Structure 1
């Protein structure tokens, strides 16, 4: 390490002092050049390692974000399903209070009409082909 100026001044004459100062300045200059050179060489390595570390962090962050997003979608889907069920129940109650038939009522009636149609077809097939139909009075 370079000596301090006072130490140099005490130990030598003016010419020697000037030579030592130049030598010390030259050593400082060379140390700076060496540091700059090392920084250039190591800088590329450091930059590349920082990029690699950044890629790892980005991958981990994306993975965690995807997991959180999946959780939120799952919760949202469950919430929407519950909301849809509540909405359907309330609409069904409102329609029932207005005496609007439900899907089940319509399905039951459709099935009953189909059964009655089958019975009517069987009854009309049982009548004799040559005999006119009996006149039946209309129900009032």
Structure 2
């Protein structure tokens, strides 16, 4: 031990020193317990205060969420509408300008053509069978074409034909 400590012990005496040390230790222990108690109480109070704040804030948070989601839905709807308009303006309208028939249009026209064909046959007294070429007419047409070609080959060329 150092000289100053020995002197302090001598002055107070051993018993008094032990009493002072015990008192300091007890006070330090009580200080620690008080700090722990205060922290626990303050922590519990702070927790309860935060719960109350959360309950009070819940309606405002829900309202903000609804407003934000409504804004996002509106923005998304606007974007989709703009996209549809672009597709319509850049793809569909030019195709309509070209007057391209859709599959449905072709089907409707085919049905209408079948109806009109049936009406024409009914009015003309024709039988309900498709029209076919007669073999004799086909042979006669070939004969006429062949004779025209052979006559032009047999004739002498004229000056008008040569030029």
Aligned counterparts of 1:11 and 1:60: Cα–Cα separation in 2:
70
2:47 pairs with 1:32 = no
Aligned counterparts of 1:92 and 1:37: Cα–Cα separation in 2:
78
How has the CA–CA distance of structure 1 residues 41 and 99 changed in structure 2, closer, same or farther, with 3 Å as cutoff?
Answer: closer
Q: What TM-score do the two structures reach when normalised by structure 2?
A: 0.46
Alignment of 1:79-94 (within 5 A): 79-89=79-89, 90-94=91-95
Aligned to 1:16, what secondary structure does the other structure show? helix
Q: More deviation in 17-26 or 73-82?
A: 73-82
Gaps of 5+ in 2: 103-163
Alignment of 1:3-14 (within 5 A): 9=9, 12-14=12-14
Aligned counterparts of 1:82 and 1:17: Cα–Cα separation in 2:
89
- Bigger RCO (CA 8 Å, 6+ sep): 1
Give the aligned CA root-mean-square deviation in angstroms. 3.3
Shift of 1:57: 5.4
Aligned to 1:79, what secondary structure does the other structure show? helix
**Deviations 1:35-89, CA, capped at 9 Å, x for gaps:** 2333333332121012223445565554444333222221211111121122223
Answer 1 or 2: which has greater helix percent: 2
Gaps of 5+ in 1: 102-140
Aligned to 2:37, what secondary structure does the other structure show? helix
Match of 1:98 in 2: 99
Q: What TM-score do the two structures reach when normalised by structure 1?
A: 0.52
Larger radius of gyration: 2
